[in-house]
Amino acid sequence: MKSIRKILSLLIAICMVLSLAACGGNKPTSQGNDTTTPGTNDTTTPDKPAIDTSKRVDLVFYVMGDPPKDEQAVEDALNKILLERVNATVDFQFSTWTDWAQKYSLELTAGTADLIYVANWNNYGTFANSGAFLPLDDLLPVYAPKLLEVVDEGLYNQCRVNGVLYAVPATWPEYTVSGVKYREDLREKYNLPVPNSIENFEKYLLGIKEHEPNQGLLTVTAAESSGLITAFDAFMIVNFKYPWVNINGLPYGLAANYDTPSEVYDYWYSEDFIEDCKLMKKWADLGFWSKSALSDPNNDTAFINGLCVAEIAGQNPNKHIAAVNDFEKNHPEWKSAYIAYGETNGVIYPAAATQNATAITAQCKNPERALMVLELLLADEEINRLVQCGIEGVHYEITPDGYYKNLSEDFMYENLNTWNLRNNDFKLPQLSDAILNDMFKRYEELGNKTKWPNINVYGNFTEDYSAYAVERGAVSDVMRQYLAPIQAGFVDDVEAAVADFLRRAEDAGLKACRDGFIEQYKAYCEEYGYK
C-alpha cells in the first residue's frame, strides 16, 4: 500500500511540474514598456505557485469620469509598490463624462486598455457576449486566488454571461436606487410639498418658479439611446408611477411589473404612454427645461452649482451624498434631499454585482499580470486604501474615531472613480456615511416587503441581439430622431407624433427586436423562477 501511495505522489508531483511549465511557456508577451528587472522574478506565496515576473509590465486601467488633479501623485505612489510586488505599473485613463458611451466603445475597439471598468448600466453583458473581455474562470485560481476568497461566489455568479465569468465585482453592498435629488432648503423656505410623486414634483417646481423666477429648475438632456428604453432623460419621472422590474421599463417599449416579471406587456402602444408624453409637453410648455435641451451637453455640476433645483435622471444615493458633502463645504445654507422612486412605487432592490466590476480586455497582452495587479488593488488593504483615498497625511487622515477626513481638494474620496474596487472590509467610513447607512437601512426594510425580497430580478439578464443588430440600430436611430422630441415635449400634437414615431419604428424593425428580446427574457425568467 505504501508503495502505491509513493507512486501516486510521484505522478501528482510530475503533473504539477508539467502544468506549471506549460503555464510559463505559453505566457503572452508584454505590452508597452517591457524591461527585465533582475531579482524580480518570484511571487511565491502559500496560496499560489511561483510566477515569473522578471519582465516589467505597464498596464492601462480604463475608468469612467474625470481625473483628479493629483492623479499622477497617487499613481506614482501606487506604482512604487506594484513594481516591488509584481513588477508592474498601472496608468489610469479616464473617459470623461462627455460622450462617454461612444468613448467607451472606441476604447474597447482600439484595444489600448488592459483592465477596464464594467457595469450593467454600461452594457457589460452585451460587450461580454461580443468577445470584448477575457474569460476568467481558468485564470483566477492561478494568478489571483485571493480574489476567490475575498469575493463571494454568489457575486461572481451574477457576473457570469452564458455561464462564463468575465468580471470581478466590488464587494461593498449598496443600493443604487434611482430617484429624485432636490434642494430641500428651498422646499422648506417656501413650504412646498415633498416631491415624492409626479403631482408633488410638479407643485414643487411651480412653487420655486413662482418665488424665484430666475432660478433654473431642471438640467436635462437627450438620453443615451444605447439601451433603447427612453430618449429623453426627464422621462425618468414616470418611475414614480410604475412598479417595473427595470428602471424605466424594458427596451423597445415593452414593460413588466416587478411582482409578475415574466408577464411582458406593451407600453409604447398604450394610453399610459400617450398621457406620459402629454405630461412632458405640459412641463416643457411651463418652462421646466431649456428649449435647447435636446442639444445641450450633460452638465453634471449644475445641481451643486445652483443652476438647477432638482435632478431626476441618473441619480442614486451616493450622488446625493456627494451633493451633501459639497453643500456642507461650499454652501452650508443649502440642503440636498433624496427620494427614491421605489419609495413611492414599492419596488426597491440592491444593485446587482455588475453595478461596479472590473474586466480584462480581450486585447490585453498580459492577462496574468493584470489579474495579479487587480488582486492587489481589490484585496490588499494598503493598496486599496491608497487607490480609494489617496496618500495618507497628504490627501486624507483617519480620525481618532476611525473616520475618513479629507485634507486636500486635489484628491477627494474615490477620486479615481474606482467604484469597482470597493472592498467592504477596507472601506473607511465618512461622516456622511451615517446618512447613507440610514438610507440603505430604509431601502432594505422596503425591499424585504416585496415579492422577491431585495432581489434585482432583472440584474442577471443579458440580451443577445446579434440576430437583429441591424434592426436594433435602426430603431435606436428612430428613437433619437423622433421619440426624443416627443418625450422632451417639443411637438404640437402628441398623439399624431407618437403614431408617426411608432410607424417609423415598425419600418425600422421594431417587431424583430421585440420578438428576439421577449424570447430570451422569458427563458431567463423561467430559468430563475421569476413568474
Q: Is residue 62 part of a domain?
A: yes
Res 47: pLDDT = 52
Residue 86: inside a domain, yes or no? yes
CATH number at residue 117: 3.40.190.10
3-state secondary structure 193-248: CCCCCHHHHHHHHHHHHHHCCCCCCECCCECCHHHCCCCEHHHHHHHHCCCECCCC
Q: Please check whether residue 161 lies inside any domain of the structure.
A: yes
Give the chain's count of helices (H) and strands (E).
Answer: 19, 14
Phi-psi region of 39 (alpha: psi -120 to 50; beta: other; left: phi over 0): left
Between CA 331 and CA 324 the distance in angstroms is 10
Q: Which three cell numbers stand for residue 135?
A: 474569460
Instruction: Give the distance from CA 394 to its chain's centroid.
Output: 29
| pLDDT number for residue 131 | 95
pLDDT at 225 (0 to 100)? 54
Q: Nearest to residue 369, comparing CAs of 128, 38, 144, 32?
A: 144
8 A C-beta contact, residue 280 and residue 289:
no
Scan for cell 407643485, then name that residue: 203
Q: What is the pTM of this model?
A: 0.74
**Residue ranges in 47-151 assigned as alpha helix (H):** 71-86, 100-110, 124-129, 140-143, 145-150
352 is a domain residue: no
Q: Is residue 47, in this structure, part of any structural domain at all? A: yes
323 found inside a domain: no
* Residues whose CB falls within 8 Å of the CB of residue 95, separated by 6 or more in sequence, listed in order: 62, 63, 64, 65, 103, 104, 107
Cell of 400: 481618532
pLDDT tens, the chain, 531 aa long:
333 333 333 333 333 333 333 333 333 333 334 444 433 445 555 455 578 999 999 999 999 999 999 999 999 999 999 999 999 999 999 999 888 989 999 999 999 999 999 998 888 988 998 999 999 999 999 999 999 999 988 889 889 988 899 999 999 888 999 999 999 999 999 999 999 999 999 999 999 999 999 999 998 988 765 579 999 999 999 999 999 999 889 999 999 999 999 999 999 999 999 999 999 999 999 999 999 999 988 888 999 999 999 999 989 999 999 999 999 999 999 999 999 999 999 999 988 889 899 999 999 999 999 999 999 999 999 999 999 999 999 999 999 989 999 999 999 999 999 999 999 999 998 877 889 989 999 999 999 999 999 888 998 888 889 999 999 999 999 999 999 999 999 999 999 999 999 999 999 999 999 999 999 999 999 988 999
Residue 249 in any domain: the answer is no
Kindly state whether residue 399 falls inside one of the protein's structural domains.
Answer: no
The Cα–Cα gap between 43 and 50 comes to: 5
Domain of 140, in residue numbers: 28-169+357-389
| Tally of structural domains, the chain | 1
DSSP 3-state of 507: helix
Angle in degrees, CA 197, 202, 205, rounded to 5: 125
State the Cα–Cα distance between residues 156 and 219, nearest whole angstrom.
Answer: 37
